[in-house]
Amino acid sequence: MIYDKLIIYYYTGTGNALKASEWIISEAKNRGIVTHIHAIDRNYKPNVQEFTANTLFGFCYPTHGFNAVPAMLSFMSKFPKVAKNHAFLLNTRAGMKIFNYNTPGLSGIALLLPMLILFLRNFNIRGAYPLDMPSNWISIHPGLNQNSVRFIINACEKKTKKFIQTIFLGKRHLKRMCIDIPLDILIVPISFGYYFIGRFFLAKTLIYTRECNSCQLCVKNCPVEAIKIVNGKPFWTHNCESCMRCIAYCPQKSIQASHLIFFSGLLLFFIPFTDLLSNILFDKAVISNEWLIWIIDTIIAMSFLYFLYAVIQKLLKYTWIEVIFRYTSITYYWRRYKTPGYKFSDLKKHE
């Protein structure tokens, strides 16, 4: 099939998915294909006037919790139905460098679930590729050094161009995804756990520190509008998707992932709230279903975490409280990662 147009929709936190999208756009332009690229930030709606019968659609996004980022899943599920247009998917995931090898991350259902959604929107899936861009989850590990980042990005550029060239030739490219399926299926429970619980938990681990000058760049550039200003300082709501954009691009490096909140929150999940309440109110256990007990305990633990977070945010204005949380946040000591060559304003493209 000869494509007359390529439209890429992307979601990016630190720039990895955007970089991959730009490599693909460059290859398309070299072939004389008309191109459009759109960030799906802030509830972007696709412009159906751009669609043609021979348009190739691309969806590029990061892997969060071994799943596609929720904002992209929502975008895909609401996408207008098409007339069997061809489409490809590309998910970026936690690539590392060990010696001279670009080690792979894991996708989980980050490709499988979006493929199903797009199939139901009448798309003809031509390719799906897991791209091992530099890992950017600095809540968990320090940003990679420049040599590692350069090595990984160079390797990923070659892989991306080879992938899209296959699509442009009218062939399918699913082999790399299929190789990973056995491992991806094994971690499906983690994917669902993150989607329904983990992401809401992690949303309440981000805090500001004394370096914050209230510039509000994090608020203006959050792709899902998850940050609001409370008492003059940023406050992360449950909509936060831990994309790392704010923490990576903050010019003051004032945003931290609080490991004190993280571990305190984990402890809450080990408290048998249901049994304690039953014994206090009724002098006996009144619920025997283990799943129901787990659900109730989880809801109560999350409620306590959200209350704790709100209190901490109010107390951070006191120097000694701020010092405790700043120095117990390991991210305070770590380098940031952002895709080379980008600044805040570069991450939202509509061309």
> Considering the entire predicted model, what is its pTM?
0.92
For residues 118-125, average pLDDT: 96
pLDDT of 289 over the 90 cut: no
pLDDT value, residue 283: 57
H or E stretch at 229: strand 227-230
Quote the number of domains for the chain. Answer: 2
**What's the CATH number where 114 sits?**
3.40.50.360
Q: Is 342 inside any structural domain?
A: no
For residues 158-186, average pLDDT: 95
Q: Give yes or no: residues 118 and 157 share one domain.
A: yes
Q: Is 41 inside any structural domain?
A: yes
Between CA 4 and CA 197 the distance in angstroms is: 42
pLDDT of 42 over the 80 cut: yes
Lowest mean pLDDT among 88-97, 126-135, 209-218, 275-284: 275-284
* Dihedral sign for Cα atoms in the order 128, 180, 70, 311: negative
pLDDT of 275 over the 60 cut: yes
Between CA 277 and CA 202 the distance in angstroms is: 26
Lowest mean pLDDT among 68-82, 84-98, 180-194, 285-299: 285-299
CB 263 within 8 A of CB 343: no
Q: Supply the range of the domain harboring residue 249.
A: 196-333
Quickly state the pLDDT bin for 273 (edges 50, 70, 90).
confident
Q: Give yes or no: residues 161 and 235 share one domain.
A: no
Q: Give yes or no: residues 112 and 260 share one domain.
A: no
H or E stretch at 51: none
pLDDT value, residue 251: 95
pLDDT value, residue 211: 95
pLDDT value, residue 300: 94
Q: Per residue in 302-325, pLDDT tens?
A: 999 999 999 999 999 999 999 999
Query: Which residue, of 142, 161, 190, is where some domain finishes?
Result: 190
Q: Give yes or no: residues 129 and 271 share one domain.
A: no
For residues 284-300, average pLDDT: 83
pLDDT value, residue 138: 92
Q: Give yes or no: residues 140 and 103 share one domain.
A: yes
Q: Is 113 inside any structural domain?
A: yes
Quickly state the pLDDT bin for 290 (edges 50, 70, 90).
confident
The strand pairing partners of 61, in sequence order, are 91
Do strands 101-103 and 96-98 pair parallel, antiparallel, or not at all (unpaired)? antiparallel
**What's the CATH number where 314 sits?**
3.30.70.20
